[in-house]
Amino acid sequence: MPQASRDIQRRIKSVKNTKKITKAMELVSAAKMRKAVSRVLATRSYSDLVWDTVLHLVKKLDTDKHLFFQEPKEVKKVAVIIISTNRGLCGSFNATLVNKVTESIKLHHPDVIDTDVITCGTKGRDEIRRRKINLIADFHKEDITASSEDIRPISHMITKDFVAKKYDKIFVAYTDFMSSLKQVPHVKQLLPIVPEIDERLGHINHEKDQVDKISVDNFAEFVFEPGMENVLDAFLPRLVEVQIYQAVLESEASEHSARMFAMRNATDAAGDMIDELTLAYNQARQASITGEIAEIAAGSAALE
């Protein structure tokens, strides 16, 4: 067998092995995606209800005196929490998110002198370091976040820094899970809280998944014990924590969806490459056989 045919055979074998790997990774990502999507859909109702409660409080009370609602007169320094992935093989997932952060800061706050970044996910951390952006903290991230306690250190850190007036504004950057086919990078302002912008995490219309949609407008007037300020001091940090937790869940569902389709595309591409290599191998083999037959015919003619 000619050397070219043997090279093509080795290439076909290599691509087939790669196809098996990408197919296995697709199945693993699909299983993780189903788990992540079920968790994000289950928590959206709670996240929306907490936000609705804040909107209702703003209508009934004078919250301008609370630090968490006070808009700064001048924005000079901001912090951004970037929720990325720990693994690659999910396309431009992380690079697109970091691009969204830089574009958003330049567009909405062009006068910002300094931007500090807090990462949750190793790929986002590596991308921030590569772009030489000021990274002040990096937190460990699981593939599937079990509970809000896992992100509580991030929440405590940013609320403490905001109360100390280290930052004028704090944002969270994550990838919003629209569907298994569509994920959109998004930057949401966490602090100060802006009730005028009814910006919820997870834009997918999921009311059909709720049997009874709860509305805080149907509640009676709020009664604060021991007092409004004490209640808000306990409630608003919890709101920030819920928002970060929901952003992490949205990002995880988006990550596994993106990786599943990336591996599916890789598997399909490997199949197409195998078909092309098989055709090339058959053509080379046929040419080799034709050449051998021509040599035999020529030798026979020479003997006659």
Q: Which of 144, 143, 176, 147 is nearest to 241 (CA)?
A: 147
Among 30, 90, 242, 244, the active-site one is 90
Calpha distance 62→111 (Å, rounded): 30
Tokens at 197, concatenated: 């912008």
For the chain, how are helix, strand and coil distributed in percent, rounded to 5? 60, 15, 25
For 135-151, give the secondary structure using H, E and C: EEEEECCCCCCCCHHHH
Contact 186, 202 (CB under 8 A): no
Residue type for 283, please? Q
**How far are the Cα atoms of 46, 60, 139, 213 from residue 204, in angstroms, in the given order?**
15, 29, 28, 15
120 catalytic residue (yes or no): no
Q: What residues contact residue 153 under an 8 Å CB cut-off, 6+ apart?
A: 139
C-alpha angle 252/213/58, rounded to 5°? 85
Calpha distance 57→221 (Å, rounded): 9
Alpha-helix runs per DSSP H in 91-227: 93-108, 122-130, 152-163
Contact 124, 83 (CB under 8 A): yes
Calpha distance 267→27 (Å, rounded): 11
Which residues are marked as active site? 90
